[in-house]
Chains A and B, each alone.
Chain A
């Protein structure tokens, strides 16, 4: 039963995949045209934001300690 359901869910995808073969023009432009470079840009953005955010928090932490040191 589960397998039949899964198959029914997958079927439109399979049909769609075949349909795309017949009409490459828009697909060509969006997928092959820029060759998935957007995935690379997104990954680099995540890494820079992640490390940048971590450094920002570290900076804040250090600032708090400096303030405490000054008061002491």
Chain B
């Protein structure tokens, strides 16, 4: 009991984080506005919200270069659909007009025609007290393109954290093993790589599925994606290299040296190369692309993300423990 408290901790963390990752609602947002182009005259705007609670008499207006256009009529169809009828004046300054409904902004909603020197400012700007109309206390950010798939942050990313933790553990055992020439260290190193490759594979497949939902393709020639794939191949080669040497001590030394280079390449391919400013990457946090940490109110995600990472890393260590003990048993039985 004393020695496996951390396994209970792993289960508890994973339970809490996974339930929260799936149960926390997305914050309300406007997800679709039609038409995409407005011209002077009467225009009927259809608005679709997500997790919104549209109510009769709700506030809605158009914003063009901080000048407001008030609607003639707002018809609420249901909690997430509304029809706004507005009289668009001629002479707005900016070519893009935003739409604001219930304090939620849909930026760049309309291409605007009939530009000019500005209009008479409507008397319907933002209200002073901005209460969240949904009444939801704790929510995840609702981003266009991502929508509900933002929850994958708590599943896809911890796979990579776990993989890196295991590869780090492996290289530590390799370095120690080079010092004392112990075969125990070698067994620990290869067990950690084995489980690390499992999480690497899971990270690649979950990443591909998420990419399909957001970028439209399972795989793109992105520097981060290719870096991850190359890293996986490097570690597969580590296993192949081990398989090709018969003498146990020679194998341990060779594998340990290879492992040190492999870990250096991992750091290079996953952290250094994708962050070079000269390289473009679709992947968040790379090549001039912002990570999730600058999403508005990102702390909402962090509250769930860090327990999830801790839980998955502990689960990875648990699997490593099983693998290592099995390997030790196999050595004792000389199989």
Point out the residue from A24, A34, A44, A68 that lies within 8 Å of B333, measured CB to CB: A68
- Chain A residues with CB under 8 A of B32: 24, 27-28, 32
Interfacial residues of chain B within 58-73, with CB under 8 A of chain A in the complex = none
- Docked-complex contact B205 and A36, CB < 8 angstroms: no
Do A47 and B202 contact each other (CB < 8 Å), given the known contacts A40-B149, A72-B333? yes
Q: Which residue of A lies closest to B32 (CB)?
A: A24
Within 8 A of A (CB), among B150-174: 151-152, 155-156, 159
Residue of A nearest to B36 (CB): A21
Contact A36 B148 (CB under 8 A): yes
Contacts of B147 in A (CB 8 A): 32, 35-36
User: Does the CB pair B26–A35 fall under 8 Å?
Assistant: yes
Q: Inter-chain contact count A-B, CB under 8 Å? A: 93
Which residues of B have CB within 8 Å of A24?
32, 34, 46, 48
> CB-nearest residue of chain A relative to B21?
A40
Task: Report how many residues on chain B are interfacial, defined by Cβ distance under 8 Å.
Answer: 39
Given A24-B32, A39-B152, A58-B322, A65:B333 Cβ within 8 A: yes
Name the residue in B148, B322, B323 with the highest tally of chain A Cβ atoms < 10 Å from its Cβ.
B148
Residues of B279-335 contacting chain A, CB below 8 A:
315, 319, 322-323, 326, 329-330, 333, 335
B238 at the binding interface (Cβ < 8 Å) = no
Q: Is B201 an interface residue (CB 8 A)?
A: yes
Q: Which of A35, A37, A38, A68 contacts B335 (CB 8 A)?
A: A68
Q: How far in angstroms is the closest Cβ of chain A from B61?
A: 22
A2: chain B residues within 8 A (beta carbon): none
The verdict on A32 contacting B146 (CB below 8 Å), with A40-B155, A68-B333, A68-B335 known, is no
A2→B206 CA distance, assembly (Å): 32
Inside 8 A of B212's CB, which chain A residues have their CB?
39
B323 to chain A, nearest CB (A): 7
B31 at the interface (CB under 8 A from A): yes
Residues of B contacting A: mostly: helix
Contact A43 B148 (CB under 8 A): no
Shortest Cβ distance from A47 into B: residue: B202
**Secondary structure dominating the interface of A:** helix
Q: A51 to B148, alpha carbons, bound, how many Å? A: 24
Contacts of B155 in A (CB 8 A): 40, 43-44, 47
Q: Tell me the bound Cα distance from A34 to B151 in angstroms.
A: 14
**Does B96 sit within 8 A of A, measured CB to CB?**
no
Is residue A3 contacting chain B, with contact meaning CB distance below 8 A? Answer: no
Query: Cα distance A27–B217 when bound, in Å?
Result: 18
Complex contacts, A27 vs chain B, CB 8 Å: 32
Our pick among B36, B159, B315, B335 for the contact of A65 (Cβ within 8 Å) is: B335
Residue in B48, B50, B326 whose CB lies within 8 Å of A62: B326
Measured CB to CB, the closest approach of chain A to B328, in angstroms, equals 10
Closest to B211 in A: A39
How far is it, in angstroms, between the C-alpha of A42 and the C-alpha of B155 when the chains are bound?
A: 11
Residues A65 and B329 in contact, CB atoms below 8 Å apart: yes
> Which single member of A40, A54, A58 contacts B152 (CB below 8 Å)?
A40
B interface, CB within 8 angstroms of A: 22, 26, 31-32, 34-36, 46, 48, 50, 146-149, 151-152, 155-156, 159, 195, 198, 201-202, 205-206, 209-210, 212-214, 315, 319, 322-323, 326, 329-330, 333, 335
